[in-house]
Amino acid sequence: MVLDLTRELEEEIEKLNPTAVGDVHISYNMKMTMIDGKICNALTANNSTQTCYICKTRPSQMNEQHSNNEANEGYYKYGLSPLHARIRFMEWLLNLSFSIPWRKEDQELEEEIEKLNPTAVGDVHISYNMKMTMIDGKICNAVTANNSTQTCYICKTRPSQMNEQHSNNEANEGYYKYGLSPLHARIRFMEWLLNLSFSIPWRE
């Protein structure tokens, strides 16, 4: 249906007659560049909204310097795909967030904690040993120089390495003060949930 409507619109555009205003003649060259992304995908036979409909590049291929995917210039008439720009912008934004000087603030907080004087309540003396275990995951990544939210900030293990029985990545015990990374538990739980779903007798 979308293809039929597009074909009809293109035929109507071709039939437009030039307009004459005095000695000025105006001809029309109209392009459908303001259409919805789903319509673009339908017109270009693109099966995924996460794939560029012009060059068919997937997000996992965006970091490749030399891509074998050639742009189909015939699809330029539907407008340029914002996928490349959006991914690059989010990548830049992520790198910018990691460059924020969280380490300096972390050191200042630790110095303030060390300067806390013990509190005396009668014969009871209370000293403080405070740890920043309730901070956001992004802050943990910035403080521990971890470049990916999909990597454990304590042992630097990636999800692809989780199934390895013997990992060479050693935990940095100095990072325990920021709380334990939930990445291992989350991946193991999702793995267990997936195995459980396969054991359910759906056919019955």
Q: Following DSSP, what letter does each residue of 69-117 receive, concatenated?
A: PPP-GGGGGG---SHHHHHHHHHHHHHHHHTS-HHHHHHHHHHHHHTPP
Global confidence as pTM: 0.39
Contact between 3 and 42 under an 8 Å Cβ cutoff? The reply is yes
pLDDT at residue 3 in the model: 79
- For the chain, the domains span 1-99, 109-199
Spatial distance between the Cα atoms of 66 and 90, rounded to a whole number of angstroms: 21
180: DSSP letter: -
Q: Six-digit token pair at 175? A: 């990072």
pLDDT at residue 168 in the model: 72
- Nearest CA to 32 among 1, 7, 65, 63? 7
pLDDT at residue 166 in the model: 62
Q: Tens-of-pLDDT digits for all 204 residues of the chain?
A: 777 888 888 888 888 888 888 889 888 888 887 888 788 888 888 888 888 888 888 877 776 656 677 888 888 888 877 777 777 777 777 777 666 665 666 677 778 877 878 887 778 888 877 776 667 777 778 778 888 777 888 888 877 777 665 667 788 888 887 777 777 777 777 778 887 777 777 655
Residues forming beta bridges with residue 20, ordered by sequence position = 25
Which residue is listed with tokens 């830049």?
Answer: 92
